[in-house]
Chains A and B, each alone.
Chain A
Amino acid sequence: MPDSSLPPFDADASLLQRIDTLNRRYGHVIDEDKLEEWPKFFTEDGRYMVTTRQNHEANMPVGLILCENRAMIEDRILALRSANLFEPHSYRHLIDPPVVTGLDGIEYSLQTSFACFRTVQSSAPEIFCTGKYLDRIIDDGSILRFKERIVVCDSERIDTLIVIPL
């Protein structure tokens, strides 16, 4: 787990640029409903968790969403498409440039702020969630993938439901 108390590292501009691009593409596939692409951002053993600041700070292990590998991440999309019922809605992510909190060989630790607006059918957009991504990214030289992405929501309160990933 990245330690957010660490001071930001100086990472070279090209690395920051690559990570920033990764985050933008990540937001893009979610916001543009290319959700089948979303699991590909993770390593095969990649972990994805949506939690709240309160739960995260209290080291609570349960997530609003908790996927322990890419197969579980794919199942979230399968269920969203084929099993779960909800009112049609879309997200619009605004993702900050990343702050590097650790560099260890090919594994990088990052913290990135985001805001996510939700539009339910033809209603007005609303702020659905603000928070931070706590990431561990693996760099195989050409492709960056999430070994872990913990989405820490600033508020304990989610409006109605969460089915599309953050």
Chain B
Amino acid sequence: MAPLDFKPNDFSEVPYSVYSDEQIYAQEQKQLFQGDAWHFLAMEIELPNAGDYKTMPVGDTPVIVVRDKNGNINAMVNRCAHRGNLVCIEDHGNLDCLTCVYHNWTYDLQGNLATIAFEKGIQGNGGMAEDFDKSCHSLQRLRVETYCGLAFGTFSDDVPSLTDYFGPEMCGNIQRLLGRDMELLGRFQHGLDGNWKLYMENVRDTYHATLLHSFMTTFRLNRLSMKGAVEVSEGGLHHLTYSIRAQDNDQGQYDAKEIRAQKDDYALKAPELLESWPEFECDTTLAIQSLFPNFSIQQLSNVITLRLIVPKGPNKSELTWWVLGAVEDTPEQRAMRIRQSNLVGPGGYIAMEDGAVVGWVRRGVTGAEDKKSILAMGGRDVERISESRCNELAVRGFWQGWHGLMES
């Protein structure tokens, strides 16, 4: 096992080796991606009909997610029990059963091995060995649970049920955003030039938001002086940060000349881009939530998105965005969501920098495996809640959760 060089119970300094070490990467695959965590698989609306399937990775493992004839969502490893060939080649489609093209072994939509080509041989010659028992050679199944239209899977028999894993505070926000009929408005992917954890740190980093994303500050979309909080779940695993619509005209520290983004003469020619409506009674205008290890849900004004960052080796990762609307939206509301979605994704006005910074940190820490990053903004502990968003506690929480699972 690779050394996890943290101080005891202190996650305010992170050894840079965690982003590049091959052994740590292999250990993550075992302890996190095949271990005691739930992994996002699909939105139920992506698989509306019996037989609808998609393929996707859970960590490095190729997985088929499919809706069966009883309406349940199942997930199994996309690997034929015979010789390891991919059973589904296409990234999505609809099938009555799953057939491996190599030797025509077929599986039902629960992953049970149904038929084997030439099982009894040809004209009495050949055939499978007599001791071969089809019932022992299903596709490897994941445990699957759904919540608010999201399907998650795990290889673990020990991890608690999905809602216990998230906890009531995290479930509250998922329910608020997604506890209604949703519509998929688009999906994007981008490849990132660094380790997946650099992106998850960024998702949980409330300190950078107004500093790295000039667009946001320029248009006062969010200021750290807005009312809100950062919450971290027990053990650090998940986090939620939110802010409530600003009622004040407080300029605060943003008039300080050192804030690069502030440009008095900068105004949008088409301000309708930012037109929004108060969608939630709680007046939350920004909510970013991470669900350990690599999934997040966010609301930015009326843009509701899901993000999944999948590792592709220690130094590469792949990010997928799902952009969502609600079925109940009026045509005007739907149009506003679609316009506002210019804020997110690989070309998003306040998202593009997040992808780039992953690559810049990777390059910056090359050769610095014996050195550490600093996460001491707001102290060194992992408190459960902070009203100040100028705080790295949620990032410290990520490392607490990561460390706990890696050592388990």
Which residue numbers of A lie inside 8 Å of B, CB to CB?
Answer: 50-52, 54-55, 60-69, 71-72, 74-75, 78-79, 82-87, 156-163
Contacts and interface: CB of A to CB of B under 8 A. Distances in A.
A64 B346 contact: yes
A78 B318 CA distance: 29
B184 A160 contact: no
A75 B268 contact: yes
Contacts, number: 117
B352 A161 contact: yes
Contacts of A86: 352-353, 356
B355 interface: yes
A78 B268 CA distance: 8
A91 B282 CA distance: 45
Interface stretch (B23-31, B130-138, B239-247, B337-345): B337-345
B339 A158 contact: no
A68 B270 CA distance: 9
Given A65-B342, A72-B270, A161-B356, A79 B215 contact: yes
Contacts of A52: 188
23 contacts: A50-B347, A60-B185, A60-B186, A62-B341, A62-B345, A63-B342, A64-B345, A66-B341, A67-B342, A71-B270, A75-B268, A75-B270, A85-B212, A86-B356, A156-B187, A156-B188, A156-B189, A157-B318, A158-B188, A158-B347, A159-B191, A160-B192, A162-B347
B103 interface: no
Interface string B4-45: 000000000000000000000000000000000000000000
Contacts of A72: 269-270, 272-273, 342
Contacts of B352: 84, 86, 161-163
Contacts of B82: none
Interface residues of B, number: 39
A62 B183 CA distance: 12
Interface in B164-197: 184-193
B349 A82 contact: no
A74 B273 CA distance: 12
A68 B271 CA distance: 12
B364 to A, nearest CB: 13
Contacts of B346: 64, 158, 160-162
B347 A60 contact: no
Given A60-B187, A62-B186, A78-B269, 14 more contacts: A54-B187, A62-B338, A71-B269, A72-B342, A74-B269, A78-B266, A83-B214, A83-B266, A83-B349, A85-B353, A87-B356, A158-B346, A159-B190, A160-B193
Contacts of A61: 185-186, 334, 338
Given A83-B218, A160-B191, A62 B266 contact: no
Contacts of A54: 187
Contacts of B218: 83
Contacts of B215: 79, 83-84
A132 B10 CA distance: 52
B30 to A, nearest CB: 27
Nearest to B357: A85
Nearest to A155: B189
Contacts of A64: 188, 345-347
Nearest to B359: A160
A160 B356 contact: yes
B339 A68 contact: yes
A50 B237 CA distance: 36
A62 B185 contact: yes
Nearest to A73: B270
Nearest to A68: B339
A1 B185 CA distance: 18
B92 to A, nearest CB: 9
Contacts of A60: 184-187
B356 A55 contact: no
Contact of A82 (B266, B273, B334): B266
A65 B347 contact: yes
